[in-house]
Each structure stands twice: as C-alpha cells, then as structure tokens.
Amino acid sequence: MGTSGVYKGGGGAAAAGLRDALSDWLDSASAPSAPAAGGPTIDGRLDPKRVGGALRLWSGPSGGGRSGRAGGSGSSGGGRSSGGAQRSAARVAGPAGSAATLSTAYLRGERAPLEAAGLDLDELRALDDPLEVRRRIVEAAFESEPDSTIADGEARLIVADLVTWTLETPRDPAQIVRHTVELMIARSILTEVGDRIRQEPRAALRRSAEDEIRLAAKAWAMRFDVAAVTLDGPSISAAVQTGVTDLLAIYGDES
C-alpha cells in the first residue's frame, strides 16, 4: 500500500517537537538492552512533559467549524500548525457537548433531547448496532457534512471516541469534560506523530507508543480544574474550552 497521501505532520515547532520526542522515546525503547525473545519490553515511560507541546496545537482562535447543537461560537481558524491541521478547541467542544448529552439521553431513555436533534429513541434501539448508534449521534452533533480537512476528520474521531466511552455507562459532567480534553490531546499527538509510529517496524513498539501517548494525555487532562458544569451541551462545551485555555495559560510556556 502506498503512503504518498499520508499526512506526515505539520511544520510548526510544536508538531516538530512532538515528533522529536517520540523518536527519542522509540530509540531509547529499542535500545540493545531490550530482550529479543518475545519482542521488546518497554521499561521507560514517556514523560508527559515531553509531549506537552500538544497543548500549543490547540492555541488557535476560539472558533473553528460548526460548533454543533450544544452551542458555542463557531468561526474559521485553528491551531498554529504552519501548514498542518488548523485546530481549535471550539471545533471539538461544541459537538462534544452535544454528543455527550445525546449519548446520555439514549442511555437514560430520554426522548426529548434526542428528538430535538432529529433522532428517535425507538429507532436507535431497534438498530441493535452500537456502531450505527454512535454514527448517528456523531452526525447529529456536528450538524454538517465532513469537509475533508485534517482538523475536521480529527474532531470527528475525537467525538466518536467520546460517544463510545459515554455509551458504556452514565458519566458525570466533570468526567466528560476531562475525557474530552484527554481525547483532544491524544488524538492531536497521534495525528502529528502517526507517520513516525508507522515507520517503526516492530508492532510491540508501535502499540507501546500509542499506549504511552494516551497515558500522557490522561495525565495532562488531570491538570486543570473543572468548575461547576452541568449535563447540558453548552455547559460541557464551555468547560472543555476553559480547560484547554487554562492548560495553555498555566503550562503553555513549559511545553
């Protein structure tokens, strides 16, 4: 399979720093001390600080794309990626807030929120197909067709992952906010370093790299305060954007 059309990462300092950090980690993880039998063992962990540059990938204008039924501002713009993905927290936060409330309504059997988004509870239940339920919720949350940009595709993956997680069991609003930010950080890193991971010949190291990135993202998502947030789209959306803003304000210079 050819890779000529594969995104190889943005040209900005933050994206380049992430690729350097991941390359350094892969090099250290594949040092000769790793035993050959059974594949490489990863003793060293990826320090979350090494991938803190991902925060700056979300430092663009507050707008960006349709913000979904949940509310929130929507305008063009995105993260500073120098020719890469034009990210913004609002591009994800609005649809994430909407999708989380719709997923919760589906779990609780609440018809009104679903109907307001053009979804029917009985029809969703009759599908007996979690993936199709997820697809319809994500589609309703975005209210618009995909625009084929890296940032839009990334946002839809983030919201789809959020819906999958939310449909597992009822979540409280603060959990939803933190998990959304965690997914944003993890997905943006994986987008920017994905080509480097694919170049790694050993499957064990590729899996370990993705696992370590997700663990680092989880650590970052625990480093901001979630103010009073309720289980409705606009509240969740605003809290997600505030969380990203706070992380940038506190740790942006360190990342």
Rounded distance, CA 225 to CA 5, Å? 40
The helix/strand/coil state of 67 is coil
Compute the half-sphere exposure of residue 125: CA atoms within 13 Å on the CB side of its CA: 11
| Residue 29: φ, ψ to 5° | -70, -25
Is the model's pTM score more than 0.75? yes
Whether the Cβ atoms of residue 189 and residue 21 lie closer than 8 Å to each other: no
Write down the pLDDT at residue 232.
94
Query: Going along the chain, which residue ranges are E strands?
Result: none
Judged against a pLDDT cut of 60, whether residue 77 lies above it is answered with no
> pLDDT (tens digit, 9 = 90+) per residue, 142-189?
988 888 899 999 999 999 999 999 999 999 999 999 999 999 999 999
Taking a C-beta distance cutoff of 8 angstroms, is the pair 64, 244 a contact? no
What is the reported pLDDT for 10? 77
Which pLDDT score, from 0 to 100, does residue 4 have? 52
The pLDDT of residue 201 is 92
Band (pLDDT 50/70/90 cuts) for residue 247 is: very high
> Contact 50/21 with Cβ under 8 angstroms?
yes
Could you give the C-alpha distances from 62 to 89, 206, 244, in angstroms and in order?
6, 33, 10
For residue 188, count other CB atoms closer than 10 A to its CB.
32
Using one digit for the tens of pLDDT, what is the confidence trace for 37-56?
444 444 578 999 999 999 99
Q: According to the model, what pLDDT value does residue 227 have?
A: 83
Confidence band of 63 (pLDDT split at 50, 70, 90):
very low
Q: What is the pLDDT of residue 254?
A: 65
Mean pLDDT of the chain: 85
- Tell how far CA 11 is from the center of its chain: 20
* pLDDT of amino acid 198: 93
For every residue of 199-212, DSSP letters joined together read H---HHHHHHHHHH
Give the C-alpha separation, 127 to 112, whole Å. 19
pLDDT of residue 45: 84
pLDDT, position 16? 92
Q: What confidence score (pLDDT) does residue 83 get?
A: 53
What's the confidence (pLDDT) of residue 192?
93
35 versus 70: the higher-pLDDT residue is 35
pLDDT at 66: 38
**DSSP H helices in the chain:** 13-29, 89-108, 111-116, 121-127, 130-142, 150-166, 173-199, 203-221, 233-251
- Choose the most confident range, by mean pLDDT, from 2-6, 43-47, 72-76, 202-206: 202-206
Q: What is the pLDDT of residue 59?
A: 83
Residues of the chain with pLDDT > 90, as a percent, come to 68
Cα separations (Å) of 192 from 57, 111, 122?
A: 10, 39, 40
Residue 21: pLDDT band by 50, 70, 90 thresholds?
Answer: very high
Span 105-145, pLDDT tens digits:
999 999 999 999 999 999 999 999 999 999 999 999 998 88
